[in-house]
Structure 1
């Protein structure tokens, strides 16, 4: 359904006007970053799945050079690695 590094669209846009978010943490809570302004929001998984509209791009398909606020998978710090 969704994975770490995917770009998703939520049902409502962020206050900055952007509606593209990058998933930067997965677990019981999901952390997403606005690709318009860089603001980070953490939501419980249940709330995230309710508010998710669709996955726009899979992490493997994202061109990080075109996204100013995107953090590539190689730069995401994973615990216990």
Structure 2
């Protein structure tokens, strides 16, 4: 059974396909998580709402931001 990716608000998603705004634009920041996931293009700022199942199929890599409040 395939692993379900854990997507959280603030994550950066690197997609398999690039956004039409630029040939190198493959990164999107997560704004909202639910049955639909709201993401914004890191290059042009375009806001997209995509069904979770469709989005999960197109994710190449999930980049988690460093937590500023984490204690060593």
Query: TM-score, normalising length from structure 1?
Result: 0.68
User: How many corresponding residue pairs?
Assistant: 60
Runs of 4+ in 1 over 6 A off after TM superposition: none
The unaligned stretches of length 5 or more in structure 2 are 1-5, 68-72
Counterpart pick for 2:55 among 48, 52, 75? 48
Structure with higher strand content: 2
Query: TM-score, normalising length from structure 2?
Result: 0.76
Structure with higher helix content: 1
Q: CA RMSD in A?
A: 1.4
The unaligned stretches of length 5 or more in structure 1 are 63-81
